[in-house]
């Protein structure tokens, strides 16, 4: 699933924090969870996939940013040295 579709499913804007993603996921889970009377298993599956997509993106983005920061502050370090920090 692409990021735009995941944001659309969760009803989130394109600039969003990790906390906002989690809060929105919890709101939708309370509403659509299949254990609830008004629950919708198909919709909940879609919500779960969207949440997982966004959280994976956030984690990967953070890792890439951290690696870029390390390179910027210590450009002479070897790859092994960078991950010993």
Confidence of residue 38 (pLDDT cuts 50, 70, 90): confident
- Domain assignment of residue 7, given as a range: 3-82
Alpha helix locations (H) across 11-40?
18-32
Look at residue 85 in the predicted model and tell me its pLDDT.
Answer: 46
Q: What CATH number did the domain enclosing 33 receive?
A: 1.10.287.110
| Global model pTM greater than 0.85 | no
Q: With bands split at pLDDT 50, 70 and 90, how would you rate the model's confidence at 39? A: confident
User: Which position has the higher pLDDT, 50 or 60?
Assistant: 50
CA-based torsion, 41, 51, 13, 37: positive or negative: positive
- Give the CA dihedral 72, 78, 80, 84, nearest 10 degrees: -50
More confident residue, 71 or 83: 71
| Number of folded domains that form the chain | 1
Average pLDDT over residues 34-45: 90
Decide if pLDDT at 77 tops 50: yes
Contacts of 50 (CB under 8 A, 6+ apart): 1, 5, 6, 7, 9, 10
């Amino acid at each position: 699933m692409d990021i735009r579709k995941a944001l659309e499913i969760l009803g989130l804007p394109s600039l969003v924090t990790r906390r906002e993603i989690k809060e929105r996921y919890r709101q939708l889970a309370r509403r659509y969870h299949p254990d609830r009377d008004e629950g919708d298993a198909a919709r909940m599956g879609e919500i779960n996939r969207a949440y997982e997509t966004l959280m994976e993106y956030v984690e990967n983005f953070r890792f890439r940013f951290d690696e870029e920061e390390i390179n910027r502050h210590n450009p002479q370090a070897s790859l092994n040295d960078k991950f010993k920090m």
